[in-house]
Structure 1
Amino acid sequence: MLKVGLIGCGSISVIHLEAINKNEDTLLVSVCDIKNDIVSKVSNEMNCKAYTDYAEMLEHEDLDVVHICTPHYLHKEMIVKALSLNIHVVTEKPVVMNIEESKAVQSALSNSKAKLAVTFQNRLNPTSLVMRHYVDQGILGDLIGIKGFVTWCREPIQYYAESDWRGQYATEGGGFLINQGIHTLDLIQWLGGEISTLNGSYSTKAFQEYIEVEDTAEIYIEFKNGAKGLFYGTNAYSSNTPVEMELLFQNGLLKYMNGKLYIEDENKDFVFLEEDFAPDQRGMSYWGASHQKAINAFYKSIIDNTSDYINLDEGLKTISILDQIRNKD
């Protein structure tokens, strides 16, 4: 039985807590949050110990695994601390805010007996796995183009005011790209392969009064295999519309829209292939239904001592893209 703790009892924690409770090989021992009223409520609901100091929890509880669900700027120090105590880590994205921060995490990981998993759960969506199968097997020939569009809504007064760490480079590490767009950008690079060239831009189109980070971004990518990629996204739209993706191959086209994956037939009609089922879990629908899969896979990798999980190197690929865009000048 893996003894598990969780740091950060904000909105995303509910989906991690549910995953922990549903797994037969884990026991939730403790939770931590700096807000005593929040952590007390969660600990009572989950029947576990409550802490307001994460270091105290890591040092005093005999944990096997800790989930980090805190604001971005706290990830590095918490990951390093847990790894120094040989505690396995599941961290929400982004693993760190930039590549410079990753150096301390990489050093801690290399000196630890523990593993580190990054939550890019959308790689495990049914539609994502089918897309990857078409790419790997060359079913429609070589991939020659891939694009993704994310048009979501974050009401500035409500969203940014409710958490003062959002909207600031020092604490969020960026805006739309590192928080909302990162999952689709991760899928684009995961499906497209190694990148040879990229050029992107980002700006604040709508929320200048409220944030210093970007609310909109666009990226052009050339992959080493010759494919081209495009990404556009914003969190300044009127609502959270479904993510759209398209994969263009030598001999065909896959299109992802409204949570379903289609293949274009000889008549230019789209034929259904696969769909992402509505999440049977607490939390936001746009978080998808694969957190449980990703977390279970990591637990299994610990028990079986395998590397079948999304590791630090994979988690840093998208961070590297963001760094290149931000540092191009």
Structure 2
Amino acid sequence: MENVRFGIIGVGNIGTVHTRYLLAGKVPEARLTAVCDNNPAKHEAIRQLVGEQIPVYSDAESMLKSGLIDAVIVATPHYAHPELSMLAMRHGIHTLCEKPAGVYTAQVREMNEFARHSNVVFGMMFNQRPNPLYQKVKDLIDSGELGEIRRSNWIITNWYRSQSYYNSGGWRATWKGEGGGVLLNQDPHQLDLWQWLVGMPVRVRAFCQFGKHRQIEVENEVTAYAEYANGATGVFITTTAEAPGTNRLEIAGDRGKVVVEEGKLRFWRLRESETEFNARWQNGFGEPECWEVTIPVAAECSEHYVITANFAAAVLHGTPLIAPGTDGINGLTLSNAMHLSTWLDDWVDLPIDEARYLSLLQERIATSVEKTSENRTLDASGSW
């Protein structure tokens, strides 16, 4: 195999992004050979996008069985991600799943078990992981430069979405169609990065606001507090109804602090660890000597095609995946825990009670209001 023949299931906002970069040849070891969307009303517009030579399917299994593709990008609404990913793997098709991995952890756990016993490459479209800023933060943590993590704060409020965005699809921002709001749609990237960098907490207390400033069912403003096994704490704040927004990640360890904001990384390093300083210092007032260190970081890059290129290299050459598919359950666990904590108005221990979560989610699905909005494909170029 000289290159990987890709199909795409779901040619909506993000599916169109994947279609365009594959057609433009941005992934040299990949080419687009088929697409699928189960809404025939969109096929004429899809045909204009992909041209006459690429087949357009209405049924995913027909495309998977066509012999035209080696791999697939699953870019449908969230509930279908595990089902379609497992269907693709069942047909021996390498599978790259858009975020989130699913809506609730029980269905994603089933998908992960299925993937472990398949002979295909399974990846997640976590396109923020290859961003040099976060790669460098991970290096500082994994190498011990920051010391033991004590606190992390992420304020991610630059996900502004107007009412017209939510009105662009009948499935959007409903419990029945999407299964969640900002935590399921916008924040899977940050929730994945948060756990990728500092690990998973042992318990979470969250406060979700549902339909705040927007006519939607699901959460669009969240403040969450997390506690970790080593005593560290974390705060995660997000909303889609704030302008201008902020994207600031701050991680403090006993050897220093790192801040990522506005595409820049700042690192303050203590000359000695806070633990050592505290043990020897006898003069009351005072603190460890601190240096702000300049760290070279490559230009920020969070393009989706970087993950697809890595995925193609994994298929062709066995290159390790930047974002293995089985990692998708971790960030989803955090979002499920934040929902559950709000619904129960209490702390939630991890791993969560998956049956309890699903039961409460199904209660909300049962009362979810069917929207009559006509689905529109929006221009998502430049989005995360």
> Smaller-chain TM-score range?
0.7 to 0.9
2:315 maps to which residue?
A: 302
1:170 maps to which residue?
A: 176
Q: Deviations over 1:145-188 (max 9, x none)?
A: 111011131112x0111011111112211111111122222211
Q: Deviations over 1:79-122 (max 9, x none)?
A: 12111101011111001111121243134324422122111111
Q: 1:76–1:207: structure 2 CA closer, same or farther, 3 Å change rule? A: farther
Q: CA deviation at 1:269?
A: 8.8
Instruction: Determine which of 220, 224, 227 is the counterpart of 2:225.
Output: 220
Question: Which stretch has the larger CA shift, 9-18 or 187-196?
Answer: 9-18
Which amino acid counterpart does residue 219 of structure 2 have in structure 1?
A: E
Q: Deviations over 1:208-232 (max 9, x none)?
A: 5x21111111111122233221100
Instruction: Determine which of 77, 82, 92 is the counterpart of 2:88.
Output: 82
Q: Sequence identity of aligned pairs in percent?
A: 26
Q: Which has the higher contact order (CA 8 A, sep 6+)?
A: 2
Distance in 1, Cα, partners of 2:166 & 2:49 = 27
Q: 1:54–1:172: structure 2 CA closer, same or farther, 3 Å change rule? A: same
Asked if 1:160 is matched to 2:166, the reply is yes
Secondary structure of the corresponding residue to residue 331 of structure 2: helix
Which blocks of at least 5 consecutive residues in structure 2 are unaligned?
271-288, 345-384
Which amino acid counterpart does residue 240 of structure 2 have in structure 1?
A: N
Secondary structure of the corresponding residue to residue 65 of structure 2: helix
1:283 maps to which residue?
A: none
Distance in 1, Cα, partners of 2:179 & 2:223 = 18
Instruction: Determine which of 311, 319, 328 is the counterpart of 2:324.
Output: 311
Which amino acid counterpart does residue 236 of structure 1 have in structure 2?
A: A
Instruction: Determine which of 176, 182, 189 is the counterpart of 1:183.
Output: 189
2:379 maps to which residue?
A: none
Q: 1:271–1:15: structure 2 CA closer, same or farther, 3 Å change rule? A: farther
Q: 1:53–1:148: structure 2 CA closer, same or farther, 3 Å change rule? A: same
1:65 maps to which residue?
A: 71
Which amino acid counterpart does residue 155 of structure 1 have in structure 2?
A: S
Distance in 1, Cα, partners of 2:259 & 2:298 = 13
TM-score normalised to structure 2 length: 0.76
Which amino acid counterpart does residue 17 of structure 1 have in structure 2?
A: T
The answer (yes or no) to whether the contact 1:80–1:104 under 8 Å persists in 2 is no
1:285 maps to which residue?
A: none
Q: CA deviation at 1:44?
A: 4.1
Distance in 2, Cα, partners of 1:110 & 1:263 = 38
Which amino acid counterpart does residue 224 of structure 1 have in structure 2?
A: A
Q: 1:295–1:194: structure 2 CA closer, same or farther, 3 Å change rule? A: same
The answer (yes or no) to whether the contact 1:175–1:213 under 8 Å persists in 2 is yes
Secondary structure of the corresponding residue to residue 144 of structure 1: strand
Distance in 2, Cα, partners of 1:129 & 1:109 = 26
The answer (yes or no) to whether the contact 1:219–1:230 under 8 Å persists in 2 is yes
TM-score normalised to structure 1 length: 0.88
2:118 maps to which residue?
A: 112
1:242-261 to 2 correspondences below 5 Å = 242-261=246-265
Q: 1:103–1:137: structure 2 CA closer, same or farther, 3 Å change rule? A: closer
The answer (yes or no) to whether the contact 2:211–2:218 under 8 Å persists in 1 is no
Secondary structure of the corresponding residue to residue 307 of structure 2: helix
